[in-house]
Amino acid sequence: MMKVLETSAGLDLRLLVGIEANSEGLAMARERGVATCHAGLEGARALPQWRQVQIVFDATSAAAHAQHHAACQADGKQLVDLTPAAIGPYCVPVVNMAEHLDEDNVNMVSCGGQATIPMVHAVRRVAKRVPYAEIVASVASKSAGPGTRANIDEFTETTARGIEVVGGAERGKAIIVLNPAEPPMIMRDTVYTLSMGAELDELADSVEDMVREVQQYVPGYRLKQKVQFERFGSNDPLRIPGMGTYEGVKSTIFLEVEGAGHYLPKYAGNLDIMTSAAMATAERIAELKFGAAA
């Protein structure tokens, strides 16, 4: 809500929907002149403002999203899904957004997916093959709410699949760590890829170019250090359990994602990159599909 109200030139927020009448978010919306509903999506569908809505952001849970998807389909609304339900196709703005702008439902994968899939794709676009990619997303425990905690399994499954479908790896794996450190840590992500058919300078340049592309909508997205490389040849192949041995280049990419601080703390980069990616996608949908504010 705060990101749309304060930074978006193409979106006009008409309605904020929740399930707690006294929630801070709904109170903040009312203070800013935004219509609210505390009776969930079914309650919202009875309001006159619902008829004005063209794009719906769903930031609830994977379990609830199935019902919301059915309701929005029936009402002709386009959904941008911030849960790991993955009913619609995976969308990572810098990689494949243009392919899915006409879909009824686009899925933003996960916070870890938005942060790391661009890096896997950066390796894949200059390599002949990426047999394996693995990501570790570490976020502050304070930035992981009940929805995140209820969807840990969906997070790992959806992110791993996104690494393959969008990132281009033949096999993907995802791990999430909720770190209780005080003061809370900024989101950190580590990306490991095994690639073949690309020179080290090509890989480094592609990764750095992709970081700049993501920074267009997530300014706090950055490399913590230069990409690390390790070569594996026929005399010392890399063994991946359950997959076999490989020759190629192992790239290790260290990322940090700092939030913009529009409302949430800056350490909550995991939440900021999701809302930023979702808003960038919705703005493009509004521009191409509706030709005006949506």
pLDDT tens-digit series, residues 84-110: 889 999 999 999 999 999 999 999 999
Q: What is the rounded distance in angstroms from the CA atom of residue 185 to the CA atom of residue 132?
A: 28
Largest alpha-carbon pair distance within the chain?
A: 70
Out of 37, 72, 91, 111, the active site residue is: 111
What does the pLDDT average to over 62-78?
95
Question: Each residue of 163-207: pLDDT tens digit?
Answer: 999 999 999 999 999 999 999 999 999 999 999 999 999 999 999
Question: Each residue of 119-129: pLDDT tens digit?
Answer: 999 999 999 99
Q: Compute the chain's Rg from CA coordinates.
A: 20
Q: What is the rounded distance in angstroms from the CA atom of residue 273 to the CA atom of residue 276?
A: 5
Question: Is residue 290 predicted with pLDDT exceeding 90?
Answer: no
Higher pLDDT, 290 or 157: 157
pLDDT recorded at residue 132? 98
Domains and CATH numbers, the chain: 2-108+272-290 (3.40.50.720), 111-265 (3.30.360.10)
Is 111 an active-site residue?
yes
